[in-house]
Amino acid sequence: MPATCPAEDVDDLVHPERWERSRERSASRRLGALRRRRRQRGSRSVALVLAAALTLGAGGALAAPAGDGSDGVLKKGSSGPVVVQLQQKLGVPADGAFGPQTERAVRRYQKQKGLGVDGVVGPQTASALGISLATAQAQSRGGGGGGSVRTPAILDSIAQCESGGDPTAISPDGTYRGKYQFDRQTWAAYGPAGDPARASEAEQDRRALKLYKARGTSPWPNCA
């Protein structure tokens, strides 16, 4: 069915002055519609920007993830024996979890020593504190050899005394090696031969636990 024109438009065609006014009204309507579309597009763009900002502020997918020690530093979210050592050095509760209190203590220490204040224990801060970051790297590799091992508090204390909890520690003469300072002969008595300081932390914990169950604290007379 052919489209029909409103009576007003037909009348406009008969009178030229009305025709001109009709053209002006049409142009005004088109301009108004164009402006409305632009405003709608602008509103959608603003909404997208606001949504992205809220995601960042809330710690969403675009926010930086917490560290797990895989980059060889200690920071908020790290945990383990080396964090216990750090906390002992800083004089805060040594619970082995790097939380806000530990981060604040690190910042205070960095400020006192003239280091970069970021609350992260990197090579410079670790060196000033006298701790090794090797343990954090070993822990981030998952310990290997079947996962972590639950050790009694006495073994944790022995490890701190013998090596500062560092699985890669080696005595000055090279005889005693690893977290519990095994010599190679004792190490081989509780598993395959090799270098204790090159074994995973979990494997060192396992053999230390076997040794402790067999001989008590006598293998560590200076630290028990």
Give Rg (Cα) of the chain: 35
pLDDT reading at 156 higher than 80: yes
Question: What is the rounded CA–CA span in Å between residue 50 and residue 113?
Answer: 41
Q: Which residues contact 180 (CB under 8 A, 6 or more apart)?
A: 155, 158, 159, 162, 163, 196, 204, 207, 208, 211, 220
Task: For residue range 95-123, list pLDDT tens digits in order.
Answer: 778 889 999 999 999 999 999 999 999 99
User: Across residues 26-45, what is the average pLDDT?
Assistant: 67
Secondary structure tally for the chain: helices H, strands E = 9, 0
Is the pTM here over 0.85, yes or no? no
Half-sphere exposure of 217 (CA within 13 A, CB side): 14
- What tokens were used for 185? 């002969």
User: Across residues 141-153, what is the average pLDDT?
Assistant: 62
Question: What is the rounded CA–CA span in Å between residue 126 and residue 86?
Answer: 9
The residue among 43 and 89 whose pLDDT is bigger is 89
The alpha helices in 58-178, defined as continuous H runs, are 81-90, 100-113, 123-129, 134-140, 153-163
Question: 81-130: what fold?
Answer: Muramoyl-pentapeptide Carboxypeptidase; domain 1 (1.10.101)
pLDDT reading at 65 higher than 60: no
Mean pLDDT of the chain: 76
Question: What is the rounded CA–CA span in Å between residue 39 and residue 47?
Answer: 12
The residue among 49 and 92 whose pLDDT is bigger is 92
User: Across residues 117-140, what is the average pLDDT?
Assistant: 80
- Going by pLDDT thresholds of 50, 70 and 90, the confidence category of residue 146 is very low
DSSP for residue 177: B
Q: Quick one: pLDDT at residue 5? A: 52
Q: Quick one: pLDDT at residue 105? A: 95
Question: What is the rounded CA–CA span in Å between residue 73 and residue 176?
Answer: 26
Angle in degrees, 0-180, between the axes of helices 100-113 and 81-90, rounded to the nearest 10: 50
**What proportion of the chain, given as a percentage, has pLDDT over 70?**
65
**CATH code for 142-215?**
1.10.530.10
**What proportion of the chain, given as a percentage, has pLDDT over 90?**
36
Cβ atoms of 82 and 126 within 8 Å: the answer is no
User: Across residues 86-93, what is the average pLDDT?
Assistant: 90
